[in-house]
A and B are shown apart, each in its own frame.
Chain A
Amino acid sequence: MEKIIVIGNGMVGYKFCEKLRAKADKNKFEITVFGEEPHAAYDRVHLSEYFTNPSVSHLEMAPRSWYEENDINLISGEMINAIDRNNKTVTSHKGTQLPYDKLILATGSSAFVPPIKGVEKEGVFVYRTIEDLDAIIEYSKKTKKAAVMGGGLLGLEAAKAMMDLKQETHVIEFAPRLMPRQLDNAGSDALLTKMQELGIKLHLNKNTRNIAGEGQMTGMEFADDSNLDVEMLVISAGIKPRDELATQCGLAVGQRGGIVVNDLLQTDDTDIFAIGECALHKNFIYGLVAPGYEMADVVVNQLIGGEEKSFKSYDMSTKLKLIGVDVASFGNALCENEDHKPIVFEDKHTGIYKRINISEDGKRLLGGILVGEAEAYNMLLQVTLNGMALPPNPEDLILGSRGGEETKMELPDSAQVCSCENVTKGDICQAVIDNELEDIEQVKTCTKAGTGCGACNPIVKDIFNEQLAKMGKTVKNVICEHFDYSRQEILDIIKIKKIQDYNQLLNDHGTGDGCETCRPLVASLLASTWNEMILDKGKDSLQDTNDKYLANIQKGGSYSVVPRIPGGEITPDKLIVIGQVAKKYDLYTKVTGGQRIDLFGAQIHQLPDIWEELINAGFESGHAYGKSLRTVKSCVGSTWCRYGLHDSVSFSIEVEERYRGLRSPHKLKGGVSGCRRECAEAQSKDFGIIATEEGWNLYVCGNGGSNPQHAQLLAGDIDSETCLKYIDRFLMFYIKTAEPLNRTATWLNKLDGGLDYLIDVVVNDSLGIAADLEKEMEFMVDTYKCEWKEVVNNPELRKRFTHFVNTEIPDPTMKFEDMRGQKKPVEWGA
Chain B
Amino acid sequence: MTEVTAEYKTVKSEEVKVWHKAASVDAFPTDGGAAIEYKGLQVAIFNFSRRGEWYASQNLCPHKKQMILSRGMLGSEGQEPKVACPFHKKTFSLKTGVNLNGSECDLATYPVKVEEGYVYVGFSQ
Are B64 and A805 in contact, CB atoms less than 8 angstroms apart?
Answer: no
Are B75 and A804 in contact, CB atoms less than 8 angstroms apart?
Answer: no
Are B31 and A813 in contact, CB atoms less than 8 angstroms apart?
Answer: no
Are B67 and A53 in contact, CB atoms less than 8 angstroms apart?
Answer: no
Q: B75 contacts which chain A residues (CB < 8 A)?
A: 482, 512-516, 518-519
Q: A557 contacts which chain B residues (CB < 8 A)?
A: 66-68
Stretch of A253-261, A541-549, A631-639 with 4 or more beta carbons under 8 angstroms from chain B: A541-549
Are B91 and A516 in contact, CB atoms less than 8 angstroms apart?
Answer: yes
Are A805 and B35 in contact, CB atoms less than 8 angstroms apart?
Answer: yes
Residue of B nearest to A815 (CB): B3
Are A516 and B73 in contact, CB atoms less than 8 angstroms apart?
Answer: yes
Give the shortest distance, in Å, between B27 (CB) and chain A (any CB): 4
Known: A513-B76, A514-B75, A829-B3. A806 touches B36 (CB 8 A): yes
Interface residues as binary, A241-269 with B (CB distance below 8 Å gives 1, 0 otherwise): 00000000000000000000000000000
Question: Does any Cβ of B come within 8 Å of A73's Cβ?
Answer: no
Interface centre among A553, A555, A803 (most CB of B within 10 A): A803
Give the shortest distance, in Å, between A59 (CB) and chain B (any CB): 9
Are B105 and A55 in contact, CB atoms less than 8 angstroms apart?
Answer: yes
Residue of B nearest to A507 (CB): B50
Question: Does any Cβ of B come within 8 Å of A807's Cβ?
Answer: yes
Are B51 and A513 in contact, CB atoms less than 8 angstroms apart?
Answer: yes
CA distance A806 to B66 in the complex (A): 19
Are B65 and A828 in contact, CB atoms less than 8 angstroms apart?
Answer: yes
Number of A-B contacts (CB under 8 A): 111
**A→B interface (CB under 8 Å):** 53, 55, 57-58, 481-482, 503, 506, 512-516, 518-520, 537-538, 540-541, 544-546, 548-549, 553, 555-557, 800, 802-807, 809, 811-814, 828-830
Contact size class for B? Answer: 35 or more
Residue of B nearest to A556 (CB): B66
Are A549 and B71 in contact, CB atoms less than 8 angstroms apart?
Answer: yes
Question: Does any Cβ of A come within 8 Å of B8's Cβ?
Answer: no
Interface residues as binary, B31-63 with A (CB distance below 8 Å gives 1, 0 otherwise): 110111110001000001011000000000000
Are B29 and A813 in contact, CB atoms less than 8 angstroms apart?
Answer: no
Are B74 and A541 in contact, CB atoms less than 8 angstroms apart?
Answer: yes
Are A515 and B76 in contact, CB atoms less than 8 angstroms apart?
Answer: yes
Question: Does any Cβ of A come within 8 Å of B112's Cβ?
Answer: no
Give the shortest distance, in Å, between A278 (CB) and chain B (any CB): 29
CA distance A561 to B90 in the complex (A): 25
Are B32 and A541 in contact, CB atoms less than 8 angstroms apart?
Answer: yes
Are A513 and B74 in contact, CB atoms less than 8 angstroms apart?
Answer: yes
Known contacts A803-B35, A809-B37, A830-B64; 16 additional CB pairs below 8 A are A53-B103, A53-B104, A513-B48, A513-B50, A513-B81, A515-B76, A516-B91, A557-B66, A803-B67, A804-B35, A805-B35, A806-B37, A807-B36, A807-B37, A811-B67, A828-B64
CA distance A817 to B74 in the complex (A): 33
Give the shortest distance, in Å, between A552 (CB) and chain B (any CB): 11
Cross-chain contact of A806 among B23, B48, B78 (Cβ < 8 A): B23
Give the shortest distance, in Å, between B93 (CB) and chain A (any CB): 13
Are A800 and B74 in contact, CB atoms less than 8 angstroms apart?
Answer: no
Q: B76 contacts which chain A residues (CB < 8 A)?
A: 482, 512-515
Question: Does any Cβ of A come within 8 Å of B19's Cβ?
Answer: no
Are B31 and A541 in contact, CB atoms less than 8 angstroms apart?
Answer: yes
Question: Does any Cβ of A come within 8 Å of B12's Cβ?
Answer: no
Known: A805-B27, A805-B34, A806-B23. A829 touches B64 (CB 8 A): yes
Residue of A nearest to B86 (CB): A545
Are B87 and A553 in contact, CB atoms less than 8 angstroms apart?
Answer: yes
CA distance A830 to B3 in the complex (A): 13
Q: B34 contacts which chain A residues (CB < 8 A)?
A: 802, 804-805
Q: A805 contacts which chain B residues (CB < 8 A)?
A: 22-23, 27-28, 34-36
Residue of B nearest to A503 (CB): B50
CA distance A119 to B35 in the complex (A): 53
